A and B are shown apart, each in its own frame.
Chain A
């Protein structure tokens, strides 16, 4: 029996009159890859920030890794990994320094850090480049490194906010292979993306329109339900009704 790692019930965030996220309810199971889709301005980022403990919701309920999104944000932060748009490493630090730093701020011991960084560098074949400044690496490498750094402390959930912006399909494919490997280690992946081929890689996807979740199911079921041949069509059918633009 798998348990729900993320649970929300009518989670809402208002900014003044504007309702960024309107009563969204869903559950994400442990070890699942959950795609969180929606056009720009649909409220994805706001929802994600509430789940990461960066924003306090206006109403509704939610737990992440068993912790309350209102009161236990510090504990949530300890049990999640977060990778923001594109990549999020320090360009003026070396590969190794970045790994050590992010491991360090999550409280890994020196021994753990050493073992983990050797493992990570090996996994990405960066042995020769471990002392290179991250700024000099190709974007695809940075993103892969960034993902592995986000899961370095073995979090229960990792949140990926449009992690593959601007890279070629081959690198994106490799990136997703890394994600699959992590799921085998029972990490739950919560990912937002604009690429519909990536949506197909997810176990389940939700599609947000104007702050509400309009659809939530496996990619296969969604395609059947909307009589579409691809996720692209499904998304287009749902999102063209959106009133909020950029």
Chain B
């Protein structure tokens, strides 16, 4: 046991000596959370709008006021010339144009219906769809207000409630994603690189020639990264609670337990990569291309898995980060307990076990 402690102490000395890497390891989650929280977001805010108001009557002005009051739109230009629409879009200044025809209010009152043209820049299809939806609902709002006094004979009104995330904040989505990403990066890459480094400098041979069981040598290598990852986890959660206002709705303890499982999964992948490779560059490349990329693509945090073709959906099941992402979201956002995520936990544990056995086996083969 004392020998094992000496080994762990040495691993910490390696990690702590390399100040630059340490700074990156601790700084990365902070920077990622801040970037995702404040800079990169798929919410549409303050989209620039061109308003062509040929009617210029009370109805059109009221709708324009409503558009302007919402945080989604910013009226960039007002004009009364329809021909300007195309040239403005070509300049790329605006995302959306709203055109009120002549006699807008008049038509509304006397023909019971008026036409409003919404033109969107669909070179970015998601934004275009989101923006037109916003306009639709604002106009809908306005009509409902108009008819408030009268009772319409037949009417279906939708009551929408956004469960778990009423304000549709992006943070709910990306904080668990960033957690998965950071843990993956630290555990897989750092473990793989640090073990392969011992192979490269031939110190691994000395360790293997010492009275240690080879497995302990490997386990000791992972201890500092396990601890580092837990610290990272704490800093991500603190940031998301106090900076992004995203509370952890479920049990924090459960979240940490599940995260530890995921960390162990990642450490195992790191060990696996280190057993299979013999240079630090290769280990790093495989960790980045082979693990980080699939994590981003298939965890569901950037691209919804449900929209992928079936083969890709099947592949995504093999990505540990996908399961961790589901688990973390369930605990943090939905506040669910273990009974809701035991299946995902089991899958994650299964993947870990298989990886562990495969890497232990290939480790032994290398030895004999």
In the bound complex, do residue A82 and residue B205 qualify as a contact, i.e. CB atoms below 8 Å apart? Answer: yes
A107 neighbours in B (Cβ, 8 Å)? 2-3, 211
In the bound complex, do residue B206 and residue A104 qualify as a contact, i.e. CB atoms below 8 Å apart? Answer: no
8 Å CB contact of B209 from A82, A91, A100, A101: A82
The CA-CA distance from A235 to B287 in the complex, in Å, is: 47
The CA-CA distance from A107 to B4 in the complex, in Å, is: 9
A97 neighbours in B (Cβ, 8 Å)? 10, 13
B212 at the interface (CB under 8 A from A): yes
In the bound complex, do residue A90 and residue B203 qualify as a contact, i.e. CB atoms below 8 Å apart? Answer: yes
In the bound complex, do residue A92 and residue B17 qualify as a contact, i.e. CB atoms below 8 Å apart? Answer: yes
A88 neighbours in B (Cβ, 8 Å)? 201-203, 205-206
As a 0/1 sequence over residues 184 to 204 of chain A, the CB contacts with chain B under 8 angstroms (1 = contact) are 000000000000000000000
A27 CB to nearest B CB, Å: 22
The CA-CA distance from A87 to B207 in the complex, in Å, is: 13
A105 and B6 contact, Cβ closer than 8 Å, known pairs A56-B368, A82-B206, A88-B205: yes
In the bound complex, do residue B6 and residue A54 qualify as a contact, i.e. CB atoms below 8 Å apart? Answer: no
The CA-CA distance from A219 to B368 in the complex, in Å, is: 34
The CA-CA distance from A55 to B203 in the complex, in Å, is: 17
In the bound complex, do residue B6 and residue A104 qualify as a contact, i.e. CB atoms below 8 Å apart? Answer: yes
Q: Which residue of A lies closest to B209 (CB)?
A: A82
In the bound complex, do residue B201 and residue A91 qualify as a contact, i.e. CB atoms below 8 Å apart? Answer: yes
As a 0/1 sequence over residues 57 to 69 of chain B, the CB contacts with chain A under 8 angstroms (1 = contact) are 0000000000000
B306 at the interface (CB under 8 A from A): no
A92 CB to nearest B CB, Å: 5
In the bound complex, do residue B209 and residue A52 qualify as a contact, i.e. CB atoms below 8 Å apart? Answer: yes
In the bound complex, do residue B205 and residue A101 qualify as a contact, i.e. CB atoms below 8 Å apart? Answer: no
B14 at the interface (CB under 8 A from A): yes
B9 at the interface (CB under 8 A from A): yes
Q: Which residue of A lies closest to B217 (CB)?
A: A105
B253 at the interface (CB under 8 A from A): no
A77 at the interface (CB under 8 A from B): yes
B3 neighbours in A (Cβ, 8 Å)? 104-107
B336 at the interface (CB under 8 A from A): no
In the bound complex, do residue B209 and residue A53 qualify as a contact, i.e. CB atoms below 8 Å apart? Answer: yes
In the bound complex, do residue A89 and residue B203 qualify as a contact, i.e. CB atoms below 8 Å apart? Answer: yes
The CA-CA distance from A90 to B13 in the complex, in Å, is: 10
A244 at the interface (CB under 8 A from B): no
The CA-CA distance from A80 to B367 in the complex, in Å, is: 18
The CA-CA distance from A107 to B210 in the complex, in Å, is: 11
B25 CB to nearest A CB, Å: 16
Q: Which residue of B lies closest to A107 (CB)?
A: B3
B280 CB to nearest A CB, Å: 14
In the bound complex, do residue B211 and residue A84 qualify as a contact, i.e. CB atoms below 8 Å apart? Answer: no
The CA-CA distance from A102 to B9 in the complex, in Å, is: 12
Which positions in A face B, CB cutoff 8 Å?
52-56, 74, 77-78, 80, 82-86, 88-93, 97, 100-102, 104-107, 159
Q: Report the 3 A-B pairs with minimum CB-CB distance, sorted nearest first.
A: A104-B6, A82-B209, A77-B211
- Given A54-B367, A74-B213, A105-B6, 11 other A-B contacts at CB below 8 A? A52-B209, A74-B211, A82-B209, A84-B202, A90-B10, A92-B17, A97-B13, A101-B6, A102-B210, A106-B210, A106-B211
Q: List 20 A-B contacts (CB under 8 A).
A: A53-B209, A54-B367, A55-B368, A74-B213, A77-B210, A77-B212, A80-B209, A84-B205, A85-B202, A88-B205, A90-B10, A90-B201, A93-B13, A97-B13, A102-B210, A104-B3, A104-B6, A104-B7, A105-B6, A105-B210
